Amino acid sequence: MNRMLHIARVENELGALTDREALEMLDAGFLSPDDLYRDGKSDWKPLAELTREQEAKSASTLKLAQQKIAATGSAAFSQAVQFTQKLKSAAVRGGAHLTDSSRGMLDSYTPQIRKLVENQLVQLSVTRAQNVLHNDDFMRKVFGATYDCLPKPIHRFISEKAFIEFCLERRQRLLGTAITAPAES
């Protein structure tokens, strides 16, 4: 799947995109399911049909992924329970001092511990983030990074500078209630 499609909205042809690009822009909300597409000389069809075609192809893949996620979740839960039990017994045996085996156990769980620490830091960062939302230079960088995350076909139609200015003008609407008066430190 990577055929070229002609895309139209109402009576206006918007341009040619690959089916992957069209789906990406549809998923991102830049195209509507009611917009039309055609492949070569075929009849115009709503983009919703392209979505249904894609969904039919990926239904079995999704089911397999769900099964793998469920298995991974169960395994992670089991490991967490075992880890908690080992920590409890280590705390009872060793008090404030870690034995070599406890230290080794914690070393083997370093990636999980790192994720927990990162989550705590993210929560702490939210309050600090509200202060930087009023800083135009910082927000230009944020909106520039956001531009890089847009579906690539958008880059053909909108420059990064124009996108950043658009976002700065609509900052309140884009960020919603996240923009409040800067918190007192």
Q: Per residue in 84-142, pLDDT tens?
A: 666 666 555 544 555 666 556 566 656 766 666 666 666 656 666 667 777 888 888 88
CA dihedral 132, 137, 143, 145 (to 10 degrees): -100
Q: Which amino acid is at 64?
A: L
Q: What pTM was computed for the model?
A: 0.42
Query: How many angstroms separate the CA atoms of 11 and 33, rounded?
Result: 15
Query: How many angstroms separate the CA atoms of 6 and 108, rounded?
Result: 53
Alpha helices in 31-132 (DSSP H): 47-94, 100-108, 110-132
Q: Which amino acid is at 168?
A: L
Where are the chain's structural domains?
Answer: 4-108, 109-185
Q: At what angle do helices 19-27 and 47-94 cross, to 10 degrees?
A: 60
Q: Per residue in 27-60, pLDDT tens?
A: 888 888 999 999 888 889 999 988 887 777 766 6
Tokens of 158: 């909108």
